[in-house]
Chains A and B, each alone.
Chain A
Amino acid sequence: MNSVRGGNHGRLSMINQLPDEVLSHIISSLSIDEAVRSSVISKRWGPLWKRASRLDFDNRHMINPLFQNSLSRELRFLDPNNASQHAYIYAKIVDQVLHQHLGDLTTCRFKHFRRSLLVGEVEKWVEFVILNKGLTSLSLECELSIPEVDPVLVDLSIPNVKINFKPKIFSNLHSLELTNYVLNNAVSSAFQSCEKLTMLKLKKVFMRAETINGVLDNCLFLEKFSLIDSFGFKELKIMNTRIKYLELLRLVVDEIDVFIENLQVLVLNSLICPPKGLKIFTPKLKSFYYVYNAPTKKVQANNPEVRVLKTQDIFENCSHLLGSRTMNIFQNLFVLSIDLDLNNIREILSLSFVLRSCLYLKNLEITVPVNKVSNSNDDSDEGTLPFPNSMFWEREGISYNCINHKLKYATIRGFRGREQEVKFAKHLITNGNMMEKMTIICDSVTIVDEAKSLLSLPRASSSLSITMDLKFKTSIV
């Protein structure tokens, strides 16, 4: 192709008149090797990468970056003979790139080898980018995860992936993310005077209760906190008053104590905790999410208390369902998104209680779990209620304020067309006066007839549109 400057391409030649900042912006979004490689494009582009605002030192892009076969690259990483050599190359490149880079960095990520930690290089790089580059957002990840051990059985002989930071080192950061480390008590001093830190994410981190408490005590200005796949602590106490968004994913604990007056969003996933150990006080909660599909956890051993919590457990222990000693965290919700077996009487009893207590609910999403096919349960539960189970959602005198007056959007995933699923969907369609959109996602190859029959029901809201979909089309998102 022959592109004559100023030729037919009139407007397109303006691409070369873009200011350097715009081009740097594009370079900042490239992976580290691509960014550095842009230096060979032309004289003008040559120095641009050195002004990138973001550097992502991802080891996968730094050792044999042009080696495309990722599978064998993976294998090479695991070869212990190569490990020290790789860490050496990684360190050399980091030093070289940081040495060439000019000006400030806003964001920096190091995905490094374990060996870089053993020789103290990671701490050195962190200090450099924070103290010399005006960094505001830092993400650190150790390449090799702590061996895949059962979190319940983990002992103290954790491999040495300890990381040590200088006191107050995070005082200028806005956002910090740590993945695959062991943190000890000393780390809390790094969080001293971190008034700017609003976002903290700890993933696959091993730490004792004192350590996490020490960190949280110092993070007074935290607004968003995520604790994911982390272990080593049995009690979790979170009382940071400014947190608006809290995410607790796949934790194994004896007690979860959350006392946050202004919490808006609570995202939970597959918690292993005795139901009575949940002590949650979040009176202003607006959005609640719970997913518990974690069938791989092998911890359901002897103790029946030690199992993945179901939504029903949280409903029972965080509302007034079992008495008024606990706070009802659901009463001000706008969004409720949960895994719940609509075919299980105990589960829908708890759902029904919660729906009656939340007055403002706008958006309800229910996913019927796939793997728990409890056919036998349905019938054996028959007779525990003073009315036939099939009447559950059609009882006289029981009305749900939020469904009648507030609910706008409803989604049912994992719909298989079983009786209670149909009855619940029918209740929403025939009672939801404000409903705008309902989505039924079938857990089957084709849309089941029971779902199609919902379309012909009289709708309480004239603006309600009902969408049918199949699991495998939508679940990719």
Chain B
Amino acid sequence: MQKTEGEESKAENEEVKQVTLMTSDGVKMKVEISIVYEMEIVRSFIEVNDADHSVPFPLPNVSSHTLDLIIELVKNEYDDEFMKTFSHDELKEVLVAANYLNMKTLLDFIATAIANLLEKKSVEFIRNFFNIVNDFTPEEEAEIRKTNEWVFQDLDED
């Protein structure tokens, strides 16, 4: 984690309506309501409960660093250039968070970005990226390779 906004030092800005979110690492962050509204999980809660916005809404699955990244992405209208600065871990964390927060546009955007990253990479790279253990037996794997032979031709030579 590079920077955290531990203290609530931000000036009380009453012009823009804000919602306080509490991240997994216990950081309270004030977020503009327009951004919060993209988070379906928070939005539906606020709308149903007409909640007091000063009571922090807990996000036990999202770290403050990830939330920072998400806010920047939304503010920059999903800028590709900005996202190119993300590490693999950051990409994955944003993907997990976008799914958890139910942010449709962000999910589309990050899924495409990850697909672009995986393009032309080896199967082993994809396994490492997603932390996947190959649970096929050699026989099962050979069977699959046979079903769609055309995508696996020459693969072993590389």
A: which residues have CB within 8 A of B?
A: 1, 3, 5, 9, 11-16, 18-19, 22, 25-31, 33-34, 36-46, 62, 64-67, 89, 93, 96-97, 100
Which residue of chain B is the closest to A49 with respect to CB atoms?
A: B148
A45 CB contacts on chain B under 8 angstroms: 132
Kindly identify which residue among A1, A22, A30, A36 contacts B118, using a CB–CB cutoff of 8 Å: A30
Contact between chains at A18 and B111 (CB < 8 Å): no
With the chains together, A13 CA to B132 CA distance in Å? 9
Chain A nearest CB: distance from B109 CB in Å? 11
Q: Do A89 and B114 contact each other (CB < 8 Å), given the known contacts A12-B93, A46-B144?
A: no
Which residue of chain A is the closest to B122 with respect to CB atoms?
A: A37
Q: Which 7 A-B pairs have the closest CB atoms?
A: A29-B115, A25-B111, A37-B151, A33-B151, A26-B111, A36-B151, A29-B112
B: which residues have CB within 8 A of A?
A: 24, 61, 63, 89, 92-93, 95-96, 99, 107-108, 111-112, 114-116, 118-120, 123, 126-128, 130-136, 141, 144-145, 147-148, 150-155, 158
Chain B nearest CB: distance from A67 CB in Å? 7
Main secondary structure, interface of B, reads helix
Contact between chains at B132 and A67 (CB < 8 Å): no
Contact between chains at B107 and A25 (CB < 8 Å): yes
Q: Do A15 and B123 contact each other (CB < 8 Å), given the known contacts A22-B107, A36-B148?
A: no
Chain B nearest CB: distance from A65 CB in Å? 6
With the chains together, A33 CA to B136 CA distance in Å? 20
Kindly identify which residue among A16, A19, A93 contacts B132, using a CB–CB cutoff of 8 Å: A16
Chain B nearest CB: distance from A261 CB in Å? 32
Chain A nearest CB: distance from B91 CB in Å? 10
Q: Do A22 and B99 contact each other (CB < 8 Å), given the known contacts A11-B93, A40-B145?
A: yes
Kindly identify which residue among A3, A18, A40 contacts B152, using a CB–CB cutoff of 8 Å: A40
Contact between chains at A41 and B123 (CB < 8 Å): yes
Which residue of chain A is the closest to B148 with respect to CB atoms?
A: A36
Contact between chains at B128 and A1 (CB < 8 Å): yes
With the chains together, A96 CA to B150 CA distance in Å? 10
B128 CB contacts on chain A under 8 angstroms: 1, 3
Counted as pairs of residues, one from A and one from B, with CB atoms less than 8 Å apart, the total is 110
With the chains together, A45 CA to B112 CA distance in Å? 18
A9 CB contacts on chain B under 8 angstroms: 131
Contact between chains at B150 and A42 (CB < 8 Å): no
Chain A nearest CB: distance from B157 CB in Å? 9
Q: Do A11 and B141 contact each other (CB < 8 Å), given the known contacts A33-B151, A45-B132?
A: no
Contact between chains at B127 and A12 (CB < 8 Å): no
Contact between chains at A22 and B111 (CB < 8 Å): yes
With the chains together, A65 CA to B134 CA distance in Å? 23
A39 CB contacts on chain B under 8 angstroms: 144, 147-148
Contact between chains at B150 and A89 (CB < 8 Å): yes
With the chains together, A40 CA to B123 CA distance in Å? 8
Q: Do A31 and B119 contact each other (CB < 8 Å), given the known contacts A15-B131, A26-B111, A42-B127?
A: yes
With the chains together, A144 CA to B93 CA distance in Å? 43
Contact between chains at A40 and B141 (CB < 8 Å): yes
Q: Do A15 and B130 contact each other (CB < 8 Å), given the known contacts A22-B99, A22-B111, A30-B115?
A: yes
Contact between chains at B96 and A66 (CB < 8 Å): no
Which residue of chain A is the closest to B131 with respect to CB atoms?
A: A3
Kindly identify which residue among B107, B108, B131, B153 contacts A66, using a CB–CB cutoff of 8 Å: B153
Contact between chains at B118 and A41 (CB < 8 Å): no
Q: Do A18 and B96 contact each other (CB < 8 Å), given the known contacts A38-B126, A65-B150, A89-B150?
A: yes
Chain A nearest CB: distance from B105 CB in Å? 13
Which residue of chain B is the closest to A63 with respect to CB atoms?
A: B150
A31 CB contacts on chain B under 8 angstroms: 119
With the chains together, A27 CA to B92 CA distance in Å? 15
With the chains together, A97 CA to B150 CA distance in Å? 11
With the chains together, A342 CA to B144 CA distance in Å? 64
With the chains together, A89 CA to B148 CA distance in Å? 12
Which residue of chain A is the closest to B98 with respect to CB atoms?
A: A22
Chain A nearest CB: distance from B100 CB in Å? 8
Contact between chains at B136 and A42 (CB < 8 Å): yes
Contact between chains at A26 and B92 (CB < 8 Å): no
With the chains together, A176 CA to B116 CA distance in Å? 24
With the chains together, A343 CA to B151 CA distance in Å? 57
